[in-house]
Amino acid sequence: MAIRAVGVVSSDVNEKIRGVLSDCIKQWSSQWFINPIYDLSFKFNDSLFSSVEVAESFKCIHETAGYKLLAEDTCVRSSLLQDLFNCDKQTLEQIESELSIDAFQSINDDLAKLIYAKCNVALDGVSAEQVLVSVTVSLNGKSFVINLDSSIFTKMMGSLSAHSIQPIRAISIASVEASVPMKIAIKSEKIAFSQAVSLQVGDVIRLKHEIDEPVPVEVNGQRNYLKSYLVKSLNNKAIIFTES
């Protein structure tokens, strides 16, 4: 089974990514805000086939290739723009009505481009694969989360592994030694309680799952990671994987 995304990174890669993102956010905040006060905390995806968890209450307020900005309160967008233009809410509404562009989208696209450039990755080289790092940013008292996909850091990790086998070694060890839960589910059927309590060995319950319908496979909490079909192998019931 191929490892779809990095999942596990070495301490060298971890520190490199922290440094790059810290520099980018420092440069970005200094360009767009007056005397910005910010604090950063990092959370890395350290489990194969999984994703960094973000609280369900957080909503996506901006998204571009490999870059997603989330906030618990949608007012964060307005608050950041008020800081940007140094104005109150009423004045901001007037400014936005006169602009021909979305100011919030522009400042976020600018941060994404800074990160792409620092990682030497072109926009068309970034794809939504799997969240590798989540950065919680507290900027002038407003908190938001930036999720970044592994594809952004592909060249960086390749460059590091050219000088050290440690980044690749961490992945290969994890892929061999780590165990991840797998769930395979087919459609179920409701039955009467009286029928359920009277079930005996040898009874048969027909399920609604069609024989030619794909069977979804969940790996380490990631739904529909693989698709498969019901088959027979020798005298055993089995599934065959067809795509990932």
Q: What residues form DSSP beta bridges with 40?
A: 137
- Per-residue CA distances from 180 to 83, 116, 146, 229 (Å): 45, 32, 26, 21
114 is written with which tokens? 């800074």
Give the pLDDT of residue 84: 92
Nearest 5 degrees, angle CA 91-CA 95-CA 96?
A: 120
Give the pLDDT of residue 40: 96
Distance CA 243, CA 231 (A): 15
Q: What residues form DSSP beta bridges with 147?
A: 68, 134
Distance CA 4, CA 180 (A): 14
SS3 annotation, 88-116: CHHHHHHHHHHCCCCHHHHHHHHHHHHHH
Give the pLDDT of residue 49: 55
Tens-digit pLDDT string for the chain (244 aa)? 233 334 456 677 788 899 999 999 999 999 999 999 999 999 887 665 556 666 667 888 999 888 999 998 878 999 999 999 999 999 999 999 999 899 999 999 999 999 999 998 888 878 776 788 899 999 999 999 999 988 888 787 766 655 554 544 455 555 555 666 788 888 777 888 888 888 889 888 888 888 788 888 887 667 777 778 888 888 888 888 876 5
Angle between helices 75-85 and 103-118 in degrees, nearest 10: 90
Give the pLDDT of residue 93: 92
Strands 131-139 and 142-149: what pairing? antiparallel
What are the chain's domains?
11-174 (no CATH), 181-243 (2.30.330.10)
- Per-residue CA distances from 133 to 6, 41, 103, 167, 215 (Å): 11, 10, 25, 16, 31
The count of other CB atoms within 10 Å of the CB of residue 14 is 16
Distance CA 156, CA 67 (A): 17
Q: Give the chain's radius of gyration (CA, Å).
A: 24
Please tell me whether the overall predicted TM-score, pTM, comes out greater than 0.75 for this model.
no
